[in-house]
């Protein structure tokens, strides 16, 4: 392919993601001469990732043209693909302050944690306004500057953000989102020695389930039932993860063990389908009343999102940031051993290949809930962002028909989560503070109107939450 492709990566401060994109481009022959423009308002982080990316490109023998800018509008000119990983505003700083303030008011793990949305940095209502404003601004600029470009977003809250894009009638752009939580399917495939080419998941972001639509999936459920009957108790009893406490445990070990935790099996027994990845971290309050409850279902650390697990994760983020800063100085052999010149598992660059090179690929993306003129996932509207199997080629994206997603999941899990989204977006679009209060009145941790009202005022008074404070009246 002789035509030079321009890829814009916004949120380059997410160095680990950015470097994986560079690596995947470098090892894809038809794309290794592409132009990639990194965008970040933090000049220090921008300089750091550009320096590291250029070194890796040189070491691996790539031919990428690598530039950077703090101006999104400048970067978008003539773009073919835009990759978005931005966490706008104060990000985790604000989220953790909201959690601290609201825990003091009686809301364990904070008010952003609600049924079917227990992921600790998946802020949808009380500290997400900067993200909503950002995605609206981004799509307007793409529409005005590079209307033919594709947007591929990896930012949270993905369900809300992609749905906002889907239902925007004024700024139509070509857009999908991708969550790496779907990669937990590989863990399941390996554990049960399955043919992974025909195992499907479907649902919404952080709420996906292995369907029952083909023989391979029926084989999985047969093996799963056998494992539950014969081996699950031995797994939880004999696996050192479940019966020892390691102060130095890697957060990745906690993440891996979530997939076959007691919570995962209990969710399967309750809903009739097996939850995948981040889905297991969520569920109802049954698994999350307090730390003791979390330990019962997820093991001695209480899972990824307990005060123990999440503390490990935040510490790991700081370590990764420092690690990436030092990576530039390692020798060539060490650099290539840490980041081998082989394609990764994420389908971001394969998506670009599919569009440009007509290489038909299948992956799980968040797209509009429509299939041949009808809704794909039952009971959700066409513009809802659903996470389903998608085929990609030069003609764009082609969602597969969702089969084998039962009504227990559809009606009792996905619809309630949809209601949560509608309230969040309603509050955002109207600026109506009463919608935020209504959500708190419904929260089982709320014991009085005064508690809810005082909590919201404290949240809106956090200095970093100024955008929300100015919006909600």
Which among 354, 255, 244, 378 has a CA at the least distance from the CA of 305? 255
Q: How far apart are CA 115 and CA 177, in angstroms?
A: 23
Residue 196: the pLDDT is 66
Residue 161 dihedral angles phi and psi, to the nearest 5°: -65, -45
pLDDT tens by residue, 411-470: 999 999 999 999 999 999 999 999 999 999 999 999 999 999 999 999 999 999 999 999
Which among 99, 124, 175 has a CA at the least distance from the CA of 419? 124
Which among 67, 82, 179 has a CA at the least distance from the CA of 140? 82
| Cβ–Cβ under 8 Å, residues 273 and 409 | yes
- Give me the sign of the Cα torsion angle 209, 210, 211, 212: negative
Residue 3: the pLDDT is 67
Share of the chain above pLDDT 90, in %: 89
DSSP type of residue 3? S
Strand 361-368 with 385-393, pairing: antiparallel
pLDDT tens by residue, 301-350: 999 999 999 999 999 888 877 777 788 889 999 999 989 999 999 999 99
Q: 126: exposed, middle or buried (C-beta count within 10 Å: 0-12, 13-18, 19+)?
A: buried
DSSP type of residue 463? G
Q: Which residues of 62-75 are buried (b: 16+ CB within 10 A; e: fewer)?
A: bebebebeeebeeb
Q: What is the DSSP string of 219-285?
A: HHHHHHHHHHHHTHHHHHHH-HHHH---TT--HHHHHHHHTTSHHHHHHHHHHSSEEETHHHH---G
Q: How far apart are CA 356 and CA 65, in angstroms?
A: 18
Q: How far apart are CA 436 and CA 446, in angstroms?
A: 13
Residue 81: how many CA atoms within 13 Å on its side-chain side? 26
Q: Which two tokens stand for residue 234?
A: 């031995």
| Cβ–Cβ under 8 Å, residues 285 and 297 | no
Residue 241: the pLDDT is 96
pLDDT tens by residue, 189-219: 999 998 767 899 999 999 999 999 999 999 9
| Cβ–Cβ under 8 Å, residues 385 and 367 | yes
Residue 282 dihedral angles phi and psi, to the nearest 5°: -105, -110
Which segments in the chain show pLDDT lower than 50?
A: 2
Q: Which residues of 288-307 are buried (b: 16+ CB within 10 A; e: fewer)?
A: beebebbbebbbebbbbbbb
Which among 137, 166, 107 has a CA at the least distance from the CA of 285? 107
**Domains along the sequence of the chain with CATH:** 6-89+129-180+328-343 (3.40.50.720)
Could you give the 3-state DSSP secondary structure of residue 152? strand
Q: Which two tokens stand for residue 10?
A: 């916004």
Q: How far apart are CA 58 and CA 45, in angstroms?
A: 20
Residue 198: the pLDDT is 84
Residue 2: the pLDDT is 47
**Where do we find the tokens 């906002």?**
164
Residues with Cβ within 8 Å of residue 364, at least 6 apart in sequence: 178, 182, 185, 201, 208, 387, 388, 389, 390
Q: How far apart are CA 96 and CA 110, in angstroms?
A: 9
Q: Which two tokens stand for residue 318?
A: 């700081």
Alpha helices per DSSP H over 304-347? 307-327, 332-338
Q: Which two tokens stand for residue 257?
A: 């063990």
């Amino acid at each position: 392919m002789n035509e030079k492709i321009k890829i814009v990566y916004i949120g380059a401060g997410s160095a680990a993601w950015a470097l994986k994109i560079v690596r995947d481009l470098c090892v894809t022959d038809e794309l290794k001469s592409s132009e990639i423009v990194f965008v970040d308002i933090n000049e220090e982080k921008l300089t750091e990732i550009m320096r590291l990316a250029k070194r890796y490109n040189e070491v691996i023998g790539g031919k990428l043209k690598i530039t950077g800018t703090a101006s999104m509008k400048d970067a978008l000119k003539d773009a073919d693909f835009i990759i978005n990983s931005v966490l706008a505003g104060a990000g985790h700083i604000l989220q953790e302050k909201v959690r601290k303030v609201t825990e003091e008011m009686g809301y364990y793990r904070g008010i952003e944690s609600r049924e079917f949305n227990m992921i600790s940095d998946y802020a949808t209502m009380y500290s997400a306004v900067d993200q909503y404003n950002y995605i609206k601004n981004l799509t307007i600029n793409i529409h005005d500057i590079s209307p033919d470009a594709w947007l591929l977003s990896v930012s949270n809250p993905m369900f809300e953000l992609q749905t906002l894009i889907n239902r925007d009638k004024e700024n139509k752009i070509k857009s999908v989102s991708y969550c790496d939580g779907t990669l937990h399917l590989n863990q399941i495939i390996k554990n049960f020695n399955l043919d992974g080419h025909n195992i499907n998941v479907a649902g919404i972001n952080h709420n996906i389930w292995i369907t029952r639509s083909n023989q391979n999936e029926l084989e999985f459920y047969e093996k799963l039932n056998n494992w539950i009957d014969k081996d699950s108790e031995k797994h939880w009893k004999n696996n050192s993860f479940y019966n020892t406490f390691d102060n130095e445990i890697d957060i990745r070990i906690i993440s891996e063990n979530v997939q076959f935790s007691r919570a995962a099996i209990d969710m399967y027994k309750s809903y009739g389908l097996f939850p995948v990845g981040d889905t297991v971290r969520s569920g109802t309050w049954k698994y999350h009343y307090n730390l003791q409850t979390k330990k019962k279902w997820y093991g001695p650390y209480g899972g990824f999102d307990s005060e123990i697990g999440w503390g490990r994760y935040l510490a790991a983020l700081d370590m990764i940031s420092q690690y990436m800063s030092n990576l530039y100085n390692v020798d060539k052999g060490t650099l290539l051993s840490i980041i081998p010149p082989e394609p990764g598992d994420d389908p971001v660059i394969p998506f670009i290949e599919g569009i440009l090179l007509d290489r038909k690929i299948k992956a799980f993306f968040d797209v509009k809930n429509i299939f041949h003129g009808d809704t794909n996932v039952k009971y959700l509207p066409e513009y809802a962002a659903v996470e389903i199997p998608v085929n990609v080629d030069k003609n764009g994206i082609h969602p597969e028909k969702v089969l084998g997603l039962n009504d227990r999941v559809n009606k009792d899990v996905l619809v309630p989560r949809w209601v949560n989204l509608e309230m969040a977006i309603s509050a955002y679009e109207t600026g109506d503070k009463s919608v935020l209060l209504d959500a708190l009145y419904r929260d089982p941790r709320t014991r009085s109107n005064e508690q809810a009202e005082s909590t919201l005022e404290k949240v809106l008074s956090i200095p970093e939450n100024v955008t929300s404070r100015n919006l909600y009246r």
